[in-house]
């Protein structure tokens, strides 16, 4: 039996609006009531959120962070269980309460061992065991299938049959299309990231252009298997309307990182959930010189923000967009309710509503920046920061000594 508690005095962001100076009552890990603080009975187990924001925990649909945690340097590799533990401590402090670990399957041609089929299979299996243990946050798996990885099909079939994955996406990084329509951008990225010479990269890109791809029947089979199991399917880096046609043929529901506004507008019109990166919002541009997330938000075609490669950007992006004129409820929904709907978990999480799990953030603003104070997952405090409180207390004591 979990301890019942309250969060009182906060400005509570719900899907319907903001409850100012409100109270959330939590019973057995679930939100039991939302009411004005004047009607609430304060308990000894209450959390004072006076003057602070109370937000739903963030749901990150696409994060490469686990790969970087395991291999922070090309020659430095850490065990998954250690990396998994350390990463979730970082994520919870950044306000992420549900993470979809994005694992890329490039096949045996990959220069990154973690992206080879057998390695991904080992990671997926290990995460399946680890997430059954007591954890700080909710862990899910998002498998990214590279179109040129012909040997990937039996692996993904096994993942689906064994219930090990929660989202899949089809991606194609063949030079000259998608994210890398501009091959010069791709060439520079690989040269910088892999420390290769220009001649080596040109040779690599030519080889990639000629790689055969998974045939359409096999892709359709994987899409059908995922659909039958209720696993959402996403496309990746859509750059043509024809790719949206294929996505609908596969019964996909998510368009990740459309590379230009025309495609994003059409994806939104067709009812797909459009995902953009929070780092793109913060930087004001795409790192691949594609569609600006800020431009797409202003056009009203963005449903979801994900961390992509930088989790700290998510909460900051929400408040930046609000500062630029977007309603706070709408901005918060992009990292909570909308991803929950896209991933079919909105019946239990993703918003501050009665009956849902109490995955909550208590946030203050310091110099116009959002600062996490507390994080609750299923009604339990899993992170408490008290940011700058020690400095503030010390300043007060110092002032008192001076006055004395």
Token pair of 309 as six digits: 């490669």
* Burial track 281-297 (b if 16+ CB lie within 10 A, e otherwise): bbbebbebebbbbbbbb
Do residues 128 and 17 share a domain?
no
Tell me if 196 is assigned to some domain: no
Tell me if 244 is assigned to some domain: yes
Give the Cα separation of 49 and 63 in Å (integer): 30
Do residues 10 and 49 share a domain?
yes
Tell me if 317 is assigned to some domain: yes
Do residues 39 and 110 share a domain?
no
In this predicted structure, what is the pLDDT of residue 173?
74
Do residues 64 and 48 share a domain?
no
Candidates 173, 180, 121, 119; CA nearest to 149 is 173
Tell me if 350 is assigned to some domain: no
Tell me if 402 is assigned to some domain: no
Tell me if 184 is assigned to some domain: no
Domain residue limits at 39: 5-55+355-391
Tell me if 248 is assigned to some domain: yes
Do residues 17 and 127 share a domain?
no
CATH code, domain carrying 12: 2.30.40.10
Residue that has been written with the tokens 């602070």 in this structure: 52
In this predicted structure, what is the pLDDT of residue 221?
96
Considering its fold, how many domains does the chain have in total?
2
**pLDDT, block means (10 residues), the chain with 404 residues:** 81 96 95 82 75 97 95 89 96 98 90 90 96 95 95 97 97 69 68 74 71 90 97 94 94 96 97 97 84 97 97 98 97 98 98 98 92 96 81 51 50
Q: pTM (2 decimals)? A: 0.90
Do residues 291 and 386 share a domain?
no
Do residues 374 and 321 share a domain?
no
Do residues 64 and 168 share a domain?
yes
In this predicted structure, what is the pLDDT of residue 93?
96
In this predicted structure, what is the pLDDT of residue 2?
59
Give the Cα separation of 72 and 177 in Å (integer): 29
């Amino acid at each position: 039996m979990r301890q019942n508690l309250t969060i009182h005095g906060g400005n509570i962001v719900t899907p319907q609006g903001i409850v100012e100076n409100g109270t959330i009552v939590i019973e057995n890990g679930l939100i039991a009531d939302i009411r004005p603080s004047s009607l609430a009975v304060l308990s000894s187990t209450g959390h004072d959120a006076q003057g602070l924001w109370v937000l739903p925990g963030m749901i990150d649909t696409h994060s490469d962070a686990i790969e970087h945690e395991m291999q922070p340097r090309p020659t430095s590799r850490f065990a998954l269980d250690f990396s998994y533990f350390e990463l979730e401590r970082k994520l919870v402090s950044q306000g992420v309460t549900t993470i979809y670990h994005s694992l890329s399957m490039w096949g045996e041609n990959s220069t990154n061992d973690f992206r080879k089929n057998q390695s991904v299979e080992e990671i997926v299996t290990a995460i399946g065991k680890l997430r059954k243990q007591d954890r700080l946050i909710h862990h899910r798996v998002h498998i990214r299938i590279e179109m040129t990885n012909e040997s990937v099909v039996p692996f993904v079939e096994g993942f689906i049959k064994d219930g090990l994955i929660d989202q899949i996406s089809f991606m194609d990084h063949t030079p000259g299309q998608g994210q890398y329509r501009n091959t010069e951008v791709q060439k520079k990225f690989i040269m910088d990231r892999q420390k290769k010479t220009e001649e080596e990269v040109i040779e690599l890109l030519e080889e990639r252009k000629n790689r055969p791809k998974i045939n359409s029947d096999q892709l359709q089979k994987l899409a059908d298997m995922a659909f039958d199991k209720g696993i959402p399917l996403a496309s990746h880096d859509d750059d043509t309307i024809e790719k949206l046609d294929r996505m609908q043929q596969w019964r996909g529901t998510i368009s990740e990182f459309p590379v230009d506004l025309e495609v994003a507008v059409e994806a939104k019109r067709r009812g797909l959930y459009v995902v953009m990166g929070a780092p793109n919002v913060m930087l004001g541009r795409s790192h691949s010189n594609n569609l600006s997330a800020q431009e797409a938000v202003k056009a009203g075609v963005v449903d979801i923000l994900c961390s992509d490669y930088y989790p700290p950007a998510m909460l900051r992006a929400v408040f930046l967009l609000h500062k630029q004129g977007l309603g706070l409820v709408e901005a918060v929904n992009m990292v909570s309710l909308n991803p929950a709907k896209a991933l079919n978990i909105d019946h239990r999480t993703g918003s501050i509503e009665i009956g849902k799990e109490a995955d909550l953030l208590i946030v203050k603003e310091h110099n116009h920046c959002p600062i996490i104070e507390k994080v609750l997952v299923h009604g339990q405090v899993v992170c408490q920061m008290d940011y700058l409180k020690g400095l503030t207390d010390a300043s007060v004591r110092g002032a008192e000594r001076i006055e004395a």
